Structure 1
Amino acid sequence: MARASVRRQGEALSREQVTEKVAEAGRRERETGRQLHVAVDRGPYDGDPRDLGEQWAARHAEWRRVAALMDAEDWPVYEPERDVQGSMWVQGREDRRQEALARRAAWQKDQWEAREELKTQVWLNADTSRRLRTIANAPASVPSRSWPTSPTTSASTTQAP
């Protein structure tokens, strides 16, 4: 999050402007660190001050990285497209985002199919129900089996033509 924010805000900034951003991020990091040790009455919608402190620490580190990169490469302005490491981070984040979206779409499809599944309930008499349970509980490894048939069916199959 901090990296993306710095890339957006840093585009076309000069070295002096980036140095100012480093100083501001450092100041805000220190301020949020001090607020952790002071009892402050927070409202019900205020966030956790530790989260804000971590965000400013991450931004401070990223602004320092950008400043060091500009000094090492002798760039007059920051251009995110030329920042190889930052671009790799952006690509990795985009890949993870696409994977998460694909997982979410697959989960939604599974949920939809489960809702669309036809559910039927059949009421059978006791004799038919007992026979079906016997068939369902029979071992599946039996290759052929003579199933109980009604007297009319067995008479027609035993007669030779």
Structure 2
Amino acid sequence: MIWSSKDVARDLVRHRAAGLTTVGVDKAVAEATVGERETEAERREVLRGPFRELEPFERDSEELAERWAAKHIEWRRVRSLMESSGWTVYESEQDVEGTAWAQECEAHRAGFLEQQAAHQARRRDEKDKLRAEVWLTAPAGRRIRTLAARAGVCPDRVVAQLAEHAVLGEDGMVSVPDFTPR
């Protein structure tokens, strides 16, 4: 699950703003303003230069600029909410928009984790399965099709059941004891 810069900013601001007074929120807005301005200037400078690949642990100036811009917007939203509601301290539980967003994110996260668990379970189940394409001679293919028609199953089921019943003898010979295809 990949979060956008806006999602990261909302989550970060929601946690950092909890318990802050209007003075603390104003300081965070000012910090976000400076961060946005500086990273945007850095991003423009990088764009003017020649194209180059990022080093493995080098920060992406464009992504950083997006995150600061998103933080700035979210801090301003929190400040505006506090002013319009007359709050002296921000409490995330009272923030209807922020709470709805957090619940939506948690639902997406839970759904994603469920999908991942189901995918992992399918992969564990499939790990022991073998999918093979078998080329038979014409006489062997006719015998398999005849057996399948008599048993009322598909020819590939007859081949799979033959493999399930195959026995390896001590002398290395492979044989299939009598069985009824199902």
Q: Which interval holds the TM-score relative to the shorter structure?
A: 0.7 to 0.9
Distance 2:42 2:149 in 1: 68
Note the aligned Cα RMSD (angstroms): 3.1
Letter in 1 for 2:92: P
Is residue 74 of structure 2 the alignment partner of residue 62 of structure 1? Answer: yes
Q: Which residue of 2 aligns with 1:88?
A: 100
SS at match of 1:77: coil
- Aligned residues of 2:93 and 2:99 also touching (Cα < 8 A): yes
Give the deviation of 1:106 after TM superposition: 0.9
- Unaligned 5+ residue runs, structure 2? 1-7, 153-182
Letter in 2 for 1:116: D
Give the deviation of 1:12 after TM superposition: 0.7
- Aligned residues of 2:54 and 2:60 also touching (Cα < 8 A): no
Deviations 1:28-67 (A, max 9, x none): 0000010022258997221210000000000000000000
Percent identity at matched positions? Answer: 39
Give the deviation of 1:23 after TM superposition: 0.9
Give the deviation of 1:16 after TM superposition: 1.0
Give the deviation of 1:133 after TM superposition: 3.3
- TM-score (structure 2 length as normaliser): 0.66
Greater than 4 Å deviation, 4+ residue runs? 39-43, 124-129, 134-138
Distance 1:68 1:95 in 2: 27
Deviates more, 1:109-118 or 1:92-101: 109-118
Residue among 100, 119, 124 paired with 1:107 = 119
What is the total number of aligned residue pairs between the two structures?
A: 139
Letter in 2 for 1:59: K
